[in-house]
Amino acid sequence: MFRKIIVPVDISVLEKGLDILNKAADLLDEGGQIVLLNVVEEVPSYLAIDMPVDVMDNAVHDAGDRLRELMHNAKVDAKIEIRTGPPAREILAAAKSHAADLIIIASHRPDFSNYLLGSTADRVVRHATCSVLVRR
């Protein structure tokens, strides 16, 4: 059992998110905490120049809404966190700052079936200092 579990969710594949959030609830110690995390990737500056100034704020706001909805559907209590930057780096940073003892990550998008592990999941597995559960 684990006391602090990071559940990073890609909001474009919410059904995977539901699955790993439920898994986290199964593995959580009484009195432990789940951190439900989404990382919003930053828009490259050469694109950002043509975009409305609040595009990042909107994306962060939208990600928060999606995660709240997911938490509500799963009927699992979690702390919602939105970070910005490269997903793998921010997932690892979140695990460190929360002193997590487990990260639960989905393996890859169903339509990317020629890979066993997506690139974000791959980086997290290789660099995490805590245990990582890769859900297939």
In one-letter notation, the amino acid at residue 3 is R
Q: Which of 34, 36, 38, 76 binds ligand ADP (CB under 6 A)?
A: 38
36 beta partners: 7, 80
The site for ligand ADP, by CB under 6 A, has a size of: 19
Could you tell me the two tokens for 67?
Answer: 């995660």
Which of 10-18, 25-33, 47-55, 70-78 is the region at the interface with ligand ADP (rule: CB under 6 A)? 10-18
Minimum Å distance from CB 119 to ligand ADP? 5
Burial string for 76-107 (b: 16+ CB within 10 Å, else e) reads bebebbbbbeebbebbbebbeebebbbbbbbb
* Least separation in angstroms between CB 51 and ligand ADP: 19
Residue 108 binds ligand ADP, judged by CB under 6 A: yes
- Number of residues that this document lists for the chain: 136
For residue 120, with 0-12 CB atoms within 10 Å meaning exposed, 13-18 middle and 19 or more buried, which class applies? buried
Task: Identify the residue among 34, 120, 128, 132 touching ligand ADP (CB under 6 A).
Answer: 120
Q: Does residue 87 touch ligand ADP according to CB under 6 A?
A: yes
Q: Which of 17/28 has CB closer to ligand ADP? A: 17
Burial class (CB in 10 A: 0-12, 13-18, 19+), 129: exposed
From 69, 112, 126, 131, residue interacting with ligand ADP (rule: CB under 6 A)? 112
> Residue numbers of the site for ligand ADP (CB under 6 A)?
8-10, 13, 16, 37-39, 87, 91, 105-106, 108-109, 112, 118-121
